[in-house]
Amino acid sequence: MESGGGDRFEMVIGLEVHAQLLTHSKMYCGCAARYADAAPNSHVCAVCAGLPGALPVMNRAAVEFCILTGLALGAEIPGFCKLDRKNYVYPDLPKGYQISQYDLPLCIGGALEFASEGAPKRAGITRVHIEEDTGRLVHRAGAPGDEVSLVDLNRSGVPLMEIVGEPDLRSPAEAADYLVALRQTLRYVGASTGNMEEGAFRCDANVSVRERGAPLGAKVEVKNMNSFRAVERALRFEEERQRAVLAEGGSIAQETRGWVEASGVTVSQRTKEQAHDYRYFPEPDLPPLTISAEMVAEIRDRLPELPGARRDRFASRYGLDAKEIETLTAEREVADVFEAVVGPDGTAEAARRAANWIVNDVMGLQRARGLPPEQLPINAAQLRDLLDAVAAGELSARAAKEVLPRIADGELPRAAAGRLNLLALDDEEVVRSAVTDALAASPSAVADFRAGKKAAMGRLIGETMKRTGGRAKPEQVRMLLEEALTES
């Protein structure tokens, strides 16, 4: 179904993102917030198990990460905010409520700037607030009637922030681009891994379709997407479904729907009438938070250069093309390596070369090794040594590519090349004897060259290089060949 152009209808999307904060401990207790591979219920205390009378204590690092994120998004940080109880019953929530923020969040307003289909786009942020995660249910299959659900509270009380976006997005692709940019911002500031597959970055999508220029239509909230692709697919499905209803003169009811990955559809979960009433009220066990201007200023100082600013600077400072810049800045750590290799006084040419090596060879090796996106297989000092060796003619480009995957942990590429006998041949006598051999073995190329076919020189260089295992410097080979051919 086409969207845009002469189309009568327009899609409206607003996203609510929950991101796990990268703190050491949980939101309101001292239990470790990271528990990968830990046995179920091994990171649990009286507070996060929700035992009656246990008192929560606010995690300062979580508050700081939330403010840091708000500042990255240009939000306002009010001097005063509070925590509220959001009450509901579910087996993964032993307390019977989550401590969240209702009417006075930590961060208000702001916007996310990103690129979508080549054009700059700006989507408003409504608010960013902190809350805690729930436990997890593990469903075990069994004979009918014997299925069981087990409760694991390791995740209970893990710090989350919710980033509520304005209904400013107009297509599934735009929503996906927004998510990628938001995730990138969270990773740049170090607030969250943003890992969607691991549940550290979850998105609920609110979707409506309206006649162009009309007020907002009733929204459908879509849940259960656990990849960027799933979000885009769910939104496409929902757009078509709503358009079809409207095209037939029907109307959309406000409801919550769940995305079913296997069948590629959304299904109704509850309607407006069944909507939760969370009976929010101020959390009596935690004092409100006062956030001083000094604290905000101190956190603002921790902000790194953000992705958009970095992309702009890479374009103006180094003149790289947009695709290359996008790849280099996707992860802050990779952009850092690039800049460390180029150095503060690096020329545009040096930048182009470093970019080329990182984007093609180094990231190719990173993929082949299955490393995480922020972790390159070699560090800046190693890459700089490699590029210096190539620039100095100590390593041919071919030899450099051969060395790269064989560099040991922390080893300098020149040392690796020496160890592997790949350094350029410096011994002129050895090259001279290779030239003699090559000439003797290629009489037809020699005859061609003498008959004026200059292209034969390429063949002779190739023959000589072969005899040095590719280690001779091609310029020296050419010089020695020319010398030999004019002498005799």
Please give the backbone phi and psi of residue 330, each rounded to the nearest 5 degrees, phi first: -55, -40
The span from the CA of 200 to the CA of 136, in Å, is 13
Question: Does residue 31 bind Zn ion (CB under 5 A)?
Answer: yes
Instruction: For residue 12, state whether it binds ligand ADP (rule: CB under 6 A).
Output: yes
Residue 401: how many CA atoms within 13 Å on its side-chain side? 8
Q: Which stretch binds Zn ion (CB under 5 A): 40-48, 251-259, 359-367, 467-475?
A: 40-48
Cβ pair 280, 85 in contact under 8 A: yes
Q: Between residues 31 and 387, which has the closer beta carbon with respect to Zn ion?
A: 31
Q: Regarding beta strands 9-20 and 201-211, do their DSSP bridges make them parallel or antiparallel, or are they unpaired?
A: antiparallel
Q: What residue 31 binds from Zn ion, ligand ADP, none (CB within 5 to 8 A, per partner kind)? A: Zn ion
**Euclidean distance between CA atoms 312 and 196, whole angstroms:** 27
- Residue 415 contact partner, candidates Zn ion, ligand ADP, none, CB within 5 to 8 A by sort of partner: none
At closest approach, how far in Å is the CB of 126 from ligand ADP? 6
Closest to ligand ADP by CB, 7 or 312: 7
* 424 touches, from ligand ADP, Zn ion, none (C-beta below 5 to 8 Å by class): none
Residue 45 found at the interface with Zn ion (CB under 5 A)? yes
The single residue among 16, 92, 374, 402 that binds ligand ADP, judged by CB under 6 A, is 16
CB 130 within 8 A of CB 159: yes
207 binds, among ligand ADP, Zn ion, none (CB under 5 to 8 A by kind): ligand ADP
Residue 101 CB-density burial (10 A; 0-12 exposed, 13-18 middle, 19+ buried): buried
Q: CB of 9: closest distance to ligand ADP in angstroms? A: 13
Of the two residues 48 and 191, which places its CB atom closer to Zn ion in the complex? 48
Q: Which of residues 145-184 bind ligand ADP (CB under 6 A)?
A: 164-167
Cα–Cα distance between 252 and 243 in angstroms, integer? Answer: 9
116 binds ligand ADP (CB under 6 A): no
Binding segment toward Zn ion, per CB under 5 A, in 22-30, 87-95, 202-210, 396-404: 22-30
Q: Which residue, 151 or 164, is less far from ligand ADP as judged by CB?
A: 164
Whether 159 contacts 132, CB under 8 Å: yes
Instruction: Indicate which of Zn ion, ligand ADP, none lies near residue 45 (CB less than 5 to 8 Å, by partner kind).
Output: Zn ion
Residue 430 in the binding site for Zn ion (CB under 5 A): no
CA distance 67 to 299: 7
Q: Which is nearer to Zn ion, 45 or 315 (CB)?
A: 45
DSSP 11-79: EEEEEEEEEE---SB-SSSSSBS--TTPPTT-S--TTTTT-TT------HHHHHHHHHHHHHTT-B--S
Give residues in contact with ligand ADP (CB under 6 A): 12-16, 164-167, 206-208, 216-217, 219
